[in-house]
Amino acid sequence: MTAPNETPELERLSELARTRGLRVSVAESLTSGRLANTIGAGESASDWFAGGIVAYFTEVKERVLGLTPGTDPTSAACAEQLATGALRLFEADICVSTTGVGGPGPEGGHPAGTVYLGWATAEDSGHRRLALTGDPDEVLSASVDVAVRLLAFHAEGLHPAGPRRGSGGED
């Protein structure tokens, strides 16, 4: 059964996470919790969504998620480091991050709509650059939609997770 307002991408992510025992997490700057809110609406999310972190301040990104000081906050490097940091923080199998300029105007030398989505798994990490148009709300909504698709895409390639650290399941 699909949760209300669940997109096909979120439905697929929910199915993959449930059937493969995956732990999913997110790290957000640009989307300010919208991505976590969307993922948390997935079917049985309490079984597979480890959580998310919203980090706007650069010093929080550095201290909590391991962002290298001096990294441009609107960059591929930042997006990948945020995803990798949150993957570790939540002991997740997959993580996606959002960073960029929502608008309405440019910021830090980047035009409005410049968005980087980072992703990380235990084996690999990467990013996608988006050049979005529209008002800030449209940029944020499009960023969340693509981030959910990115999670589902990378979850497709993951195998069932092994035993969790600290799960208390030792015999």
> Across all residues in the chain, what is the average pLDDT?
92
* SS3 assignment, position 85: helix
Residue spans of the chain under pLDDT 50: 1-3, 167-171
Alpha carbons 69 and 91: distance in angstroms, whole number:
23
Compute the radius of gyration of the chain from its Cα atoms.
Answer: 16
Host H or E run for residue 100? strand 94-100
pLDDT at 164: 55
pLDDT at 109: 96
Summarised one tens digit per residue, pLDDT across range 161-171 is 555 555 444 43
pLDDT at 56: 94
pTM of the model: 0.91
pLDDT at 159: 75
Alpha carbons 119 and 97: distance in angstroms, whole number:
6
pLDDT at 6: 78
